[in-house]
Amino acid sequence: MITVRAASDRGRTSTGWLHSAHSFSFGSYFDLRHQGHGNLLVLNEDIIAPGKGFGTHGHRDAEIVSYVLSGALAHQDDVPQKQASAPSPTPALPTPTGILRPGDVQRMSAGWGVRHSEFNALQDQDTHFLQIWFKPLFTGIRPSYETRHFPAADRRGRLVQLVSRRGTDGSLSMNADASLWAGLFDGDTESATLPLHPDRIAYVHVAQGALQINGVRLSAGDGALLDGETQLVLAHGAGAEVLVFDLARQ
């Protein structure tokens, strides 16, 4: 079964510097029908104005993944022990922990507690990114994070695993029973198939462009909840950038 979560039906938050769309309940947006999907808790699409951002705030016991679509996201935190590879080269803000650009993916394990901030590192354009939260397998662990660059050429016409429980196939590891893939698809010659386990569920989010999943057409911002499907077929993309989640039912 495939249930489409239309982009226009998502929750919205808008301030002078931030425009967000929430696929699931988050902050002041509450929808009893959309309280996450399995152990995927949050999927926010955020657009941050130049030089603005989220001031220092705290998280605990969540696995948080940041996926940048355009611009540059500066991240600072108080994690004492880091596991971060260098993101793409970029001019630095004052003492940033790191700056993420398109193709950079960061996993942060909030564990027993972390305080961090996120800002648009650019003064002349918006930064557009996805903020994703998973329910952790174990609570109270030591906070940590990892960053890795996944070149667009590697994601062209195929799904690349970005994050997984055990860091398989070059992915980032995380403290959650879930996997995240991403791919870029354009035209009729680019397609991918992913087997789906019958005991698990899946979610697809189209970040940009449009494509078909199992024959269902999705456009930018649309999502699809999959349950009982044996495989996922991505095809007929039009400038599509898509994320695919393999999830525990909880």
What's the mean pLDDT in 167-185? 96
Q: Say how far apart CA 211 and CA 53 lie, in whole Å.
A: 31
pTM of the full structure: 0.90
**Residue owning tokens 């697809």:** 204
pLDDT per position as a tens digit, 134-170: 999 999 989 888 999 999 999 999 999 999 999 999 9
- Structure confidence by residue, pLDDT tens digits, 184-202: 999 999 999 999 998 999 9
Q: What is the mean pLDDT of residues 36-51?
A: 95
Domain annotation for the chain: domains and CATH numbers? 2-247 (2.60.120.10)
Determine how β-strand 172-173 pairs with β-strand 159-164. Answer: parallel
Q: Among residues 239, 247, 245, which one has the least CA distance to residue 218?
A: 239
With cut-offs at 50, 70 and 90, classify the pLDDT of residue 32: confident
Contact (CB, 8 A) for 82 and 97: yes
Predicted pLDDT of residue 77: 64
pLDDT of amino acid 112: 87
The mean pLDDT of the chain is 89
What is the C-alpha to C-alpha distance for residues 65 and 68, in angstroms, rounded to an integer?
A: 10
Q: What is the pLDDT of residues 59-102, one digit of tens each?
A: 788 899 999 999 999 877 656 544 444 334 333 333 345 889 99
